[in-house]
Amino acid sequence: MNQSSDAPSIDPSVRGPEAGSSPEPGLSAPARSRQVIGVDLGGTAIKLGRFDDQGQLLAELEVATPQPALPGAVTMAIAEAVDQLDPERRADRVGVGLPGPTDRAARLARISINLPGWLDVPLADWLESRLQRRVTLGNDANCALLGEAWLGAARACGDTILLTLGTGVGGGVLLGGSLFTGHGGAAGELGLIGLDPDGPPCRSGNRGSLEQYCSIAGLGRLSPLEPAELCRLADAGDRAALAVWTRYGQLLGIGLSSLLYVLTPELVLLGGGLSGASHHFLPAVWAELEQRVLAVSRVGLEIRPCALGNGAGRLGAARLALDRLG
């Protein structure tokens, strides 16, 4: 594999424990009381947690994602971080959430349009060889949704959509309480649906995708200000900033309207860094949905931010490993 010659630095600050909660009836409890590691691979950081089978966080670690984030360098960074997080090997299973689809067997990272060189990478095999622990893979937004369904905002909700609004726009779909990934494992790439056929080009090959309008870069097309500053100004009542968030909400609402007609969820969860400004853009989202979506397709619909913040992805990855690897 194409490994980087420079070993990534590992942050020695491993913290724990932290209390968790018991799983809700919608997701059955795993049979064995054993520990598991969940990994959330992002473009700038890799977040890891060691959990028991009730979702209690026992230890956590965050390391920088190697730059450039080539597959070999990332594999070594994850492996070294897992060994640092669990030097006594209490956890024999690892779930990894990554920014892109996997194959149906959850062994290959099929493609990640925002990471260089990621095309059919056998990440599970590479990690298992290095770690001598069993590994399964999942899309990062799917993992975040699983975490929210287990111990967060989507508990007891059978039909849920999650959108992560950040560097890109990720998505996950829960139908009837089960994660929907389609026949090839790649379903649920909600950020890649088309919004404007003549819009900006997307790395997926699409033009005018939802990601091009509702990611951080998309927000940058509406304002040169950083999202945090734009939110601060809007909190202070700045009219120009409020107008930017209103336009952002309109675009997000247009994209959501298509998803509602197809999936008619009871809950839409918003995660990622931009969701922190949802109090500014959700009114515009609702206005678009009420105009564009028949009432019968949005009966009882709720839209709210994720409850678990940046910890949802690693928790969901751990749950994925518990469910798939026994």
Task: Give domain status of residue 11, yes or no.
Answer: no
DSSP assignment of 267-286? EEEEESGGGGGHHHHHHHHH
Q: Which residue has tokens 């194409």?
A: 2
Confidence of residue 96 (pLDDT cuts 50, 70, 90): very high
Task: Give domain status of residue 317, yes or no.
Answer: no
- Same domain for 95 and 135: yes
- Same domain for 135 and 189: no
Q: Check pLDDT > 60 for residue 250.
A: yes
- Same domain for 280 and 179: yes
**Which pTM was predicted?**
0.86
Kindly report, residue by residue over 8-38, the tens digit of the pLDDT. 333 334 444 443 333 333 344 444 448 999 9
- Same domain for 195 and 54: no
**Residue at a domain's end among 107, 122, 144:** 144
- Same domain for 247 and 161: yes
Kindly report, residue by residue over 106-161, the tens digit of the pLDDT. 999 999 988 999 999 999 999 999 999 999 999 999 999 999 999 999 998 999 99
Contacts of 193 (CB under 8 A, 6+ apart): 209, 210, 255, 258, 259
**What is the spatial distance between Cα 273 and Cα 247, in angstroms, rounded to a whole number?**
18
Contacts of 299 (CB under 8 A, 6+ apart): 264
Q: Tell me which residue range forms the domain holding 206.
A: 156-306
- Same domain for 110 and 220: no
- Same domain for 245 and 119: no
- Same domain for 298 and 170: yes
Task: Give domain status of residue 6, yes or no.
Answer: no
- Domain count within the chain: 2
Kindly report, residue by residue over 270-316, the tens digit of the pLDDT. 999 999 999 999 999 999 999 999 999 999 999 999 999 989 999 99
Task: Give domain status of residue 97, yes or no.
Answer: yes
**What is the spatial distance between Cα 88 and Cα 242, in angstroms, rounded to a whole number?**
51
What tokens does 3 get?
């490994």
- Same domain for 298 and 228: yes
Task: Give domain status of residue 92, yes or no.
Answer: yes
Q: Check pLDDT > 60 for residue 235.
A: yes
**What is the spatial distance between Cα 85 and Cα 70, in angstroms, rounded to a whole number?**
22
CATH number at residue 165: 3.30.420.40
As a whole number, mean pLDDT of residues 160-172 equals: 94
**What is the spatial distance between Cα 164 and Cα 147, in angstroms, rounded to a whole number?**
13
